[in-house]
Structure 1
Amino acid sequence: MAASAGPEIERLISLLAKLPGLGPRSARRAALQLLKKRDQLLVPLAAAMSDAAEKVVACSVCGTPDTRDPCAICSDTARDDGLICVVEEAGALWAMERSGAFRGRYHVLGGLLSALDGVGPDQLRIAELVGRVKGTSAREVVLALPATVDGQTTAHYLVERLAGTDVEITSLARGVPVGGDLDWLDDGTIVQALRARRPT
């Protein structure tokens, strides 16, 4: 923290430093930039944050943040009710939406199972997912979870919890990205690509 900064500035820096990707130094630079451009950045940002805190809620159906409940995606009648894509957080949902390739429904878990972090099934929206699958005409659940230990642990747990239903459970393909050079890929990605190979 800046020793000569007033308590308001120190609080701003401290709060910014809690954001992902911002350490103390980056937070200090961001705070100085906000203060330097008060009218262009700080005031509009403060208003936007206040507005978001007041109006944004978690969708009661899928769990994504929106200003209405059910959210815009859950309210869209043109979407395929038979497909439910399970993601860790809303950021993954937004990435899927940017692609424009998925026209089904979503379910945001709110995190991943992690014994080290003390995150168990009760802290996630897993019971809600099971209830949705049993209470709707879902025919396929797509697990779009990270290829990490916690992501795979969560995926295996979801497969077990959904075992008594009639839905097909699939996962996103993993492997060589479009435009990817094998020399730059890690060993795990190459292994996944080999396992998921298909005829051309």
Structure 2
Amino acid sequence: MNFPSKLIENAVNEISRLPGIGKKTALRLALHLLKQRETVSETLAHSILTLRKEVKYCKVCHNISDSEICSICTGMKRDKSLICVVEDIPDVLAIENTSQYNGLYHVLGGVISPIQGIGPDELKIESLISRINASPSDEKVEEVILALSTTMEGDTTSFYITRKLKTMGIKVSTIARGIPVGGELEYTDEVTLGRSILTRINYSAD
């Protein structure tokens, strides 16, 4: 792709680093910004810098937050006896959009994948165990819902967590297989995902 300006080329190269954006889309975005008032670009740049510098991760569930503990963990109407374990932050957003779940979350930050060199120690699994052990008697965790993608890596992670929780007397369930095998949770439609949460089934590591 030939560019009339080195400045345009640099902007396109940087924008195209974003997931799902190719060079042509990046060029359209760069040209669009050029047509807008300068304040539009300044506002965009400021919001991105603020996001990168000031966003926090909840100390309890590891979801993104504006404070040290997120609004979901501190929500008075949340069912503290339920923890839904997800792979990453987009999965929290996907489940929240179903309006079918009012418990808490725990973000692992990935799934076990030996091929990619990701083991249990790289994930927030021990944090989950510690969190359950530390839960007060009036907010005792009674059920852990494994809402991981139905891939080999997701199933391996679910199996590992279930074995860790087996001796703790915690009920472990998994979302119903309305989610297609091999499917990514964040791309599942809200109706299917919502029904999968409501019709979850017990999970066993035996």
Task: Write the distance in 1 (CA, Å) between the matches of 2:37 and 2:149.
Answer: 38
Query: Which among 152, 155, 164 is matched to residue 161 of structure 1?
Result: 164
Count of matched residue pairs: 179
Distance 1:120 1:13, change over 3 A: farther
Change (3 A) 1:115 1:23: farther
Whole-Å separation in 1 of the counterparts to 2:2 and 2:120: 41
Match of 1:148 in 2: 151
Distance change in 2, residues 1:172/1:36 (3 Å): same
Q: Helix, strand or coil: the match of 1:47?
A: helix
- Cα distance in 1 between the residues matched to 2:102 and 2:164: 25
| TM-score w.r.t. length of structure 1 | 0.79
TM-score, normalised by the number of residues in structure 2: 0.77
Comparing 12-21 and 34-43, the one that deviates more: 34-43
In the TM superposition, 1:70-85 aligns within 5 A as 70-85=69-84
> Structure 1 residues 42 and 171, CA, compared in 2 at 3 Å: closer, same or farther?
same
Q: Within 2, Cα distance between the matches of 1:93 and 1:128?
A: 17
Map of 1:91 onto structure 2: 90
- Name the residue aligned to 1:16: 15
- Specify the SS of the correspondent of 2:21: coil
Aligned to 2:103: 104
Summarize the Cα distance change of 1:40–1:2 in structure 2 as closer, same or farther, 3 Å threshold: farther
Alignment root-mean-square deviation, CA? 2.5
The one of the two structures with greater contact order (alpha-carbon pairs below 8 A, sep at least 6) is 2
Structure 1 residues not aligned, in runs of 5+ = 178-192
Q: For 1:18-42, what per-residue CA distance to the aligned partner results, in whole angstroms no more than 9, with x for missing partners?
A: 2221233333332332333354742
SS at match of 1:141: strand
Name the counterpart of 1:185. none
> Partner of 1:172 in structure 2?
175
